[in-house]
């Protein structure tokens, strides 16, 4: 089997049988195309001739090109998965001893509760004028912060995914896995105003759309527009670091732990497959506690 054919088969397996997210499959495709080009230059265009040394050389070349540890870790995972798939189809798994570089762990930017209150108050003031876009933007940010959703999960919501009585949303996350996530009363109020007033005004009368959040033309709200909204909102707030929607997810998770939420419950809410991924927020909480101590304690 040619290596490029094996790559196509493996990617199809991830997408159709394993239910991997489109973004993950796209990233793996780019990684494995790079591997195929590297192997072709070395005369290893058959999957049966792929070996551990070729994989290590490819990762070394990727590192020399300046790729970060997170990218190298993903490339390692893609190569190991491909090797296992080749083995399942009559070949040999050559990547079992391929080591994954350890990722750098950076504490995410987290907003203070006061900063979040100020941001939401500014959006609420704009929405008070009754503008449908302003009503939508307030509901978007309230729900992102209340439920710690990924932006892809938020824009993928349909009206039927929202339970206004139980204050929950049904979310399709990574790997097409569904989970039910709660939200609070402020988010409920913002959603009700958006759905009863704003959404009706943006809905196309001839082509009604099931999406919860609509763009100005009546179609599903796009991820880019949410990024622009949150970036613009957070740029004016104190604190350095990223300004995108993921900052609201980090902030929500940290505020939950600050308030005494169980780590496992936060893991479930965020849709993390591993508890280790969620534990980064315990480090954030401890760092915030240490900073508060250094600021406030007379003997610090």
Residues 266, 278: Cα–Cα separation, whole Å: 7
Calpha distance 226→156 (Å, rounded): 12
Burial category of 11 from C-beta neighbours within 10 Å (exposed 0-12, middle 13-18, buried 19 and up): buried
Q: Which two tokens stand for residue 2?
A: 């040619």
CA terminus-to-terminus distance, the chain: 65
Residue 24's H or E segment, with its range, is helix 22-41
For the question of residue 272 being annotated catalytic, the response is yes
- CA–CA gap between residue 26 and residue 20 (Å, rounded): 10
Catalytic residue among 220, 227, 272, 288: 272
- Which one of 75, 150, 225, 255 is the catalytic residue? 150
**Angle subtended by helix axes 132-147 and 245-258, to nearest 10:** 50
Collapsing DSSP states into helix, strand and coil, what is residue 178?
strand
Let me know if 150 is a catalytic residue: yes
Of the candidates 174, 179, 201, 227, the residue annotated as catalytic is 174
**Residues whose CB falls within 8 Å of the CB of residue 145, separated by 6 or more in sequence, listed in order:** 116, 120, 187, 248, 251, 252
Q: Which of 29, 69, 246, 288 is catalytic?
A: 246
The Cα 271–Cα 172 span in angstroms is 9
> Is residue 84 flagged as an active site residue?
no
Alpha helices in 89-206 (DSSP H): 113-127, 132-147, 151-155, 185-193, 199-202
Residues 109, 209, 249, 250: which is the catalytic one? 249
Residue 180 gets which letter from DSSP?
A: E
Among 10, 20, 28, 281, which one carries the catalytic annotation?
A: 281
Q: How many CB atoms lie within 10 A of CB 46?
A: 14
User: Residue 158 has what DSSP assignment?
Assistant: B
Q: In the annotation, is 246 catalytic?
A: yes
Give the residue numbers marked as catalytic.
Answer: 150, 174, 246, 249, 272, 281
């Amino acid at each position: 089997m040619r290596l490029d054919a094996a790559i196509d088969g493996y990617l199809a397996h991830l997408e159709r049988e394993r239910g991997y997210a489109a973004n993950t499959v796209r990233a793996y495709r780019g990684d494995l195309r790079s591997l195929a080009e590297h192997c072709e230059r070395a005369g290893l265009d058959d999957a049966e001739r792929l070996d551990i040394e070729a994989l290590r050389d490819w990762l070394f070349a990727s590192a020399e090109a300046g790729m970060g540890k997170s990218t190298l870790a993903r490339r390692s995972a893609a190569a190991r998965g491909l090797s296992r798939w080749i083995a399942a189809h009559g070949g040999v798994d050559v990547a079992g001893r391929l080591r994954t570089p350890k990722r750098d762990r950076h504490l995410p930017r987290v907003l203070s509760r006061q900063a979040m209150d100020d941001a939401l108050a500014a959006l609420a003031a704009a929405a008070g004028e009754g503008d449908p876009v302003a009503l939508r933007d307030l509901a978007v940010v309230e729900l992102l912060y209340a439920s710690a959703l990924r932006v892809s999960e938020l824009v993928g919501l349909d009206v039927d995914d929202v339970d206004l009585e139980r204050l929950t949303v049904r979310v399709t996350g990574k790997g097409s896995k569904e989970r039910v996530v709660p939200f609070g009363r402020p988010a409920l109020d913002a959603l009700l105003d958006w759905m009863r007033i704003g959404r009706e005004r943006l809905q196309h009368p001839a082509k009604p759309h099931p999406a919860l959040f609509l763009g100005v033309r009546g179609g599903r709200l796009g991820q880019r527009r949410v990024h622009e909204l949150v970036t613009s909102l957070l740029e004016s707030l104190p604190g350095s670091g990223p300004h995108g929607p993921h900052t609201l997810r980090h902030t929500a998770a940290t505020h939950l732990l600050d308030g005494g939420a169980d780590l496992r419950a936060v893991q479930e809410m965020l849709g993390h497959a591993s508890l280790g991924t969620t534990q980064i927020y315990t480090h954030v909480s401890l760092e915030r506690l240490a900073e508060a101590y250094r600021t406030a304690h007379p003997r610090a």
